[in-house]
Structure 1
Amino acid sequence: MRIGNQERWTQMRSLRGLRACILGGPPKPHNVNRKIVLVSTAICALALYFYAHHNWHPLSPRTTIDRIVVEKSARKLSILRDGKQIKTYRVALGRNPFGPKREEGDMKTPQGTYKIDSRNAQSSFHLALHISYPSDEDNKRATARSVPAGSDIMIHGIRNGLGWIGAFHRWKDWTVGCIALTDEEIEELWRVTPDGTTIEIRP
């Protein structure tokens, strides 16, 4: 159904009035866009914060796992014990997430089966579990192309000092190839994941 000129004009005036109420007065060309961005960002951040905390169910202190499965396309990290899925987290990935990692600097999160082989409590990102990338096969492929395979792929939290962002960090993929959780989530994963745990990263 087409909207007549009079109806369209009425809707525009109503929207202007609503915008004036929200932003505090008539719009000014030089600051309306900035105010809209700030208000929208604040609303989204608050919504994500309350959603994440309302739905947070901590694991038992006695919980340990033996496998991690990451599904890149779904942005999910699941933890398992004896084949049984215990919990799933939403994650952010490398800034160029699709496809396997081929070389250093390609901003991709690897694909394949690896181990959690070490951890760093002093990381510049809140806690870091190191993934054993590159494997021998990864190195062979990179060598065949005369490029470095890359290294230092981690599961980690948010950059130190920015933990208040919480679930809002998942707004987009932002790492250089790592797998990112909220600080609360990485603290839990750190606690339940022994060194040597298998991690499978799927497309």
Structure 2
Amino acid sequence: MQYIRLTRRIALLGAVATLLSACATKFRSYDGPQVTRLRLFKGRRLLVLDGAEGALRTYPIGLGFAPIGHKQFEGDGRTPEGSYVIDRRNPDSRFHLSIGISYPNAQDRDFAAAEGRSPGGDIFIHGGPRPGIDPVDKRDWTAGCISVTDRQIEEIYSMVRNGTPIDIYS
């Protein structure tokens, strides 16, 4: 009799563990109002997701390791300023999840070319930092990207679609 009870408990715990692991995914669903625009305020370290009726969510952010000024060249550690769009998604990001920003635009490329340099690229909104790899004691630690927590990027990733405009202010 005890053997049957023990077997049932083990089976029940296995079922619960399976159910919980199925819920533990980084991909969330979102069925709320459409995000129509993102606004990023570098000086305030704030990302705002706007809908048709106003702000839907706000998030504190981290920036590139040189947070002041517009990104001009590869390796400068700055986060771009200006008008861009969300143009790609990376479900296999080294930083949990990430959504890409269309930097550099034509003006950014022209400026860098006139200076004989590369404008850089691969600017994302992503999770992180990765413990033991990225500095966790600094707010602005990326190479020019925008960082939020892993939980926050899961929410942002589910809410924001490719083609959504993003305005980045100083």
| Superposed counterparts of 1:97-116, under 5 Å | 97-116=67-86
Q: Where in structure 1 do 4 or more consecutive aligned residues deviate above 6 Å?
A: none
1:72 paired to 2:39: no
Number of equivalent positions: 140
Structure-2 change in CA distance of 1:169 and 1:79 (3 Å): farther
Q: Contact (CA 8 Å) 1:92, 1:169: kept in 2 or not?
A: no
Residue segments in structure 1 that go unaligned for 5+ positions in a row: 1-59
| TM-score, normalised relative to structure 2 | 0.77
> Which residue of structure 2 lines up, in the alignment, with residue 184 of structure 1?
151
| Superposed counterparts of 1:141-152, under 5 Å | 141-152=111-122
**Distance of 1:169 and 1:197 partners within structure 2:** 30
| Superposed counterparts of 1:8-157, under 5 Å | 61-63=30-32, 64-82=34-52, 84-157=54-127
Q: Partner of 1:140: helix, strand, or coil?
A: helix
Q: Greater Rg, structure 1 or structure 2? A: 1
Greater per-residue strand proportion: 2
Larger RCO (alpha carbons 8 Å, 6+ apart): 2
**Distance of 1:97 and 1:159 partners within structure 2:** 17
**Residue identity (%):** 40
Which amino acid counterpart does residue 108 of structure 1 have in structure 2? R
Root-mean-square deviation (CA, aligned residues, Å) is 2.1
Deviation digits for residues 53-83 of structure 1 (CA, Å, limit 9, x no counterpart): xxxxxxx931230100000000000000125
Structure-2 change in CA distance of 1:170 and 1:66 (3 Å): farther
